[in-house]
Structure 1
Amino acid sequence: MGGDMRTGVHRHNLFEAAAVYVAASAGDDEERGAEAAGWVSPEALAFGVNELACRAVIALARERQQPPLVVARELLGLTPAP
């Protein structure tokens, strides 16, 4: 993945940071989540987390053959929309 060949430093992109951050949160790994949060700016992390959430809801909606809003509300434990 991305990195600087001169320094050997691996540079994380916002999607990698978001994936690790969300997986760490789901796995109750605060240390790993904090590490991933430091890889990119807070704005970039928020964008990546939003993109991951959208893709996850779309994938589940297709799998369940339900509208994305129904799936999103179910995931959050909300009552069905009127």
Structure 2
Amino acid sequence: MCKQVDKVEGGIRLGFIGIDDGATSLLAYIDCLVSPATDGSGFVFRAIRNGAMKDMEPPGEPRIMRSLLMALQKSIQIAQV
């Protein structure tokens, strides 16, 4: 399974792609979106899984999501300096 990252409005899309006999198929994708909180307290991070495997966890997803969360937290720390 390969992974692909694309920019979408408000964030990124992580694509999990299968390759079989040279043909690719989109197995699942996760839209990772950041938007202002409705109460003005900061920002909200949402991760929404879609695609054929939307009810299953694609291989590597937990590690990728932990890394993404750590990067966002570090970006916040840097921005506050």
TM-score category, normalised to shorter length: 0.3 to 0.5
Structure ID, larger Rg: 1
Q: RCO (CA 8 Å, sep 6+): is it higher in 1 or 2? A: 1
Q: TM-score, normalised by structure 1?
A: 0.40
Structure with the largest fraction of strand:
2
Q: TM-score, normalised by structure 2?
A: 0.41
